[in-house]
């Protein structure tokens, strides 16, 4: 191996070790750490973060990248080596272009704003946090201005969805919104689905065992992961062979634990499927928040909430909860887990309305950055958009503009698009898998997931971060990113569920 590449890898391995050690501390903080450990833990994680940053942003890396330029030109773009050099260069630029002093200031401001937001939300008082939010907007613009860009939001979007831009996202989301608004209207005009089947008492341990059984059938290997309980479910990775998930249980709602677990399992399958050749480098991970979300959504919704899947599992679920479920048919259960309603809260929203919540936030944050709208008008603009898109709006700001932490604990811009990109891509990927392997649908009703899982591994997971989302979509599906398969999927599913024609 080239000696400079060897030197680069050595540093990257150590940075990766430090980052993973920090992630392990974070996992423990969310799962088992006693409350009084919090202060020390925050300090330890900050120290590790600083060490990793120092190591990665050192001049040594810049020199090595310079020396590696000729080699990169000789290598195939798709090779692991060329990809490592290319992605390291992008990450290095991101890590070094913004002055440390600015980052520290912004981070202190964000922590203060977060504390204020907790009070503002509790007291339903947007004005309490408005001045801080004004400063956050200013910081966010300044952050973006450290990078060349066409639109002020582009560099902020690029942080979690590399190479995505407002010029791509605006028409894509506008297209989706145009289809979704009348679709939601038509569905909510029907008799609401009866979800009493899932709103009963279901013992925690039985719920967890059932969720884990499906996760393992999907291909989640307990020798390479584990499931624990947290307030907010998440997935975290310490190595390609140690990818953990968490979930939460509501003993009065059967859907919470099962579908959160399947969602996080989708994220985990992605990380577990990355080629071992990329381990310990910055290529060992999902390529963007959008592609990551496409996998959680695919396994949670397209597969997890499908009738095919429950044809196999519902009788098993009835065996586990005979008293609760004996009077409910598969059809009743299928309707209950796919119930649609107009909702105020993004995180409680169903599959059909969810993207409207996200698009509202994307549009507002992009308009804020452009200076088209003002912070002080946010609560009213929020209400107006909810009324227009979802036919409902909150009387309180706590359930309105104050509901999500994103703008109050970080930056304004680039933090919401990944959720909807994920939904769009989930259908595009699934359709491509079905076209290549038509047997997948039948296999799902027999709880066989290998064919689908292997297709996803070969076409998406194995590449890690080597390619951008757009590149992965093109390679895996042969097409540019499009909303068509996703809209078709929603129309077919909800036309059947609510017995309507679109």
Catalytic residue among 162, 264, 271, 293: 264
Cβ at position 160, least distance to Zn ion in Å? 12
Quote the distance between the C-alpha of residue 278 and its chain's center: 22
Cα–Cα nearest to 288, from 267, 264, 269, 263:
267
Which is nearer to Zn ion, 379 or 422 (by Cβ)?
A: 422
Q: Which range in 179-187, 250-258, 291-299, 353-361 contacts Zn ion by CB under 5 A? A: 291-299
Q: Which range in 105-113, 131-139, 165-173, 289-297 contacts Zn ion by CB under 5 A? A: 289-297
Q: Is 301 in the site for Zn ion (CB under 5 A)?
A: no
Q: Which range in 52-60, 294-302, 343-351, 360-368 contacts Zn ion by CB under 5 A? A: 294-302
Q: Is 296 in the site for Zn ion (CB under 5 A)?
A: yes
Q: Is 338 in the site for Zn ion (CB under 5 A)?
A: no
Quote the distance between the C-alpha of residue 213 and its chain's center: 23
Q: Which range in 66-74, 223-231, 290-298, 343-351 contacts Zn ion by CB under 5 A? A: 290-298
Q: With CB under 5 A, what is the number of residues at the site for Zn ion?
A: 1
Cβ at position 470, least distance to Zn ion in Å? 20
Which is nearer to Zn ion, 423 or 468 (by Cβ)?
A: 423
Q: Which residue is nearest to Zn ion (CB)?
A: 296
In the window 125-164, what residues touch Zn ion (CB under 5 A)?
none
CA distance 287 to 463: 8
Which is nearer to Zn ion, 60 or 232 (by Cβ)?
A: 232
Phi-psi category of 362—alpha, beta or left, where left has phi over 0 and alpha has psi -120 to 50? alpha
Phi-psi category of 242—alpha, beta or left, where left has phi over 0 and alpha has psi -120 to 50? beta
Cβ at position 263, least distance to Zn ion in Å? 6
Contact code string over 459-488 relative to Zn ion, x by CB under 5 A? ------------------------------
Q: Which residues contact 391 (CB under 8 A, 6 or more apart)?
A: 184, 185, 188, 342
46-to-26, 90, 116, 454, 499 alpha-carbon distances in Å? 11, 23, 22, 38, 54
Which is nearer to Zn ion, 379 or 410 (by Cβ)?
A: 410
Please indicate whether residue 492 is annotated as part of the active site: no
CA distance 183 to 469: 28
Q: How is residue 179 written in tokens?
A: 């289809």
Cβ at position 9, least distance to Zn ion in Å? 30
Q: Where are the alpha helices (DSSP H) in 98-150?
A: 100-122, 127-145
Q: How is residue 28 written in tokens?
A: 């423990």
Which is nearer to Zn ion, 219 or 379 (by Cβ)?
A: 219
CA distance 41 to 21: 12
Q: How is residue 459 written in tokens?
A: 């076409």
Which is nearer to Zn ion, 296 or 366 (by Cβ)?
A: 296
Q: Which range in 105-113, 293-301, 425-433, 494-502 contacts Zn ion by CB under 5 A? A: 293-301
Cβ at position 234, least distance to Zn ion in Å? 8
Cβ at position 43, least distance to Zn ion in Å? 29
CA distance 405 to 72: 41
Cβ at position 305, least distance to Zn ion in Å? 15
Helix/strand/coil (H/E/C) assignment for every residue in 301-352: HHHCCCHHHHHHHHHHHHHHCHHHHCCCCHHHHHHHCCCCCCCCCHHHCCCC
Q: Do 157 and 413 form a contact (C-beta atoms < 8 A)? A: yes
Which is nearer to Zn ion, 61 or 291 (by Cβ)?
A: 291
Contact residues toward Zn ion (CB under 5 A) are 296
Active-site residues: which are they?
Answer: 264
């Amino acid at each position: 191996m080239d000696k400079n590449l060897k030197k680069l890898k050595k540093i990257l391995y150590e940075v990766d070790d430090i980052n993973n050690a920090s992630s392990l501390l974070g996992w423990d903080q969310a799962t088992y750490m006693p409350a009084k450990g919090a202060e020390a833990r925050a300090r330890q994680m900050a120290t590790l973060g600083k060490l990793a940053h120092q190591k990665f942003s050192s001049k040594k890396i810049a020199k090595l990248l310079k020396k590696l330029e000729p080699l990169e030109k000789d290598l195939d773009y798709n090779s692991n080596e060329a990809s490592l050099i290319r992605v390291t260069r992008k990450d290095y630029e991101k890590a070094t272009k913004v002055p440390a002093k600015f980052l520290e200031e912004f981070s202190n401001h964000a922590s203060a704003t977060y504390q204020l937001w907790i009070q503002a939300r509790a007291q339903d008082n947007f004005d309490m946090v408005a001045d801080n939010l004004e400063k956050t907007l200013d910081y966010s613009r300044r952050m973006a201005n450290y990078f060349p860009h066409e639109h002020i939001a582009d560099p902020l979007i690029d942080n979690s969805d590399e190479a995505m831009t407002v010029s791509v996202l605006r028409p894509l989301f506008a297209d989706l919104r145009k289809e979704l608004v009348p679709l939601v209207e038509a569905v909510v005009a029907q008799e609401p689905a009866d979800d009493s089947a899932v709103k009963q008492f279901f013992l925690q341990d039985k719920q967890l065992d059932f969720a884990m059984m499906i996760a393992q059938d999907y291909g989640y290997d307990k020798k390479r992961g584990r499931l624990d309980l947290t307030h907010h479910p998440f997935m975290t990775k310490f190595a390609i062979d140690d990818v953990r998930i968490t979930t939460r249980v509501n003993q009065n709602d059967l859907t919470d634990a099962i579908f959160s677990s399947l969602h996080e399992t989708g994220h985990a399958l992605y990380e577990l499927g990355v080629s071992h050749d990329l381990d310990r480098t910055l290529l060992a991970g999902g390529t963007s928040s959008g592609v990551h979300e496409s996998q959680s959504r695919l396994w949670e919704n397209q597969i997890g909430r499908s009738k095919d899947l429950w044809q196999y599992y519902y009788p098993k679920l009835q065996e586990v909860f005979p008293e609760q479920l004996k009077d409910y048919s598969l059809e009743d259960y299928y309707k209950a887990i796919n119930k649609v309603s107009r909702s105020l809260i993004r995180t409680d929203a169903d599959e059909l309305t969810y993207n409207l919540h996200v698009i509202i936030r994307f549009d507002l944050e992009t308009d804020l950055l452009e200076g088209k709208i003002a912070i002080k008008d946010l609560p009213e603009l929020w209400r107006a958009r909810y009324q227009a898109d979802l036919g409902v709006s909150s009387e309180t700001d706590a359930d309105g503009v104050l509901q999500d932490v994103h703008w109050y604990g970080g930056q304004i811009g680039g933090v919401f698009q990944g959720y909807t990109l994920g939904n769009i891509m989930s259908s595009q990927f699934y359709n491509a898998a079905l076209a290549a392997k038509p047997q997948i649908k039948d296999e799902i009703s027999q709880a066989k997931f290998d064919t689908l899982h292997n297709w996803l591994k070969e076409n998406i997971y194995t590449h890690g971060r080597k390619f951008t989302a757009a590149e992965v979509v093109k390679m895996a599906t042969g097409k540019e990113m499009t909303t068509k398969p996703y809209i078709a999927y929603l129309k077919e599913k909800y036309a059947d569920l609510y017995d309507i024609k679109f």
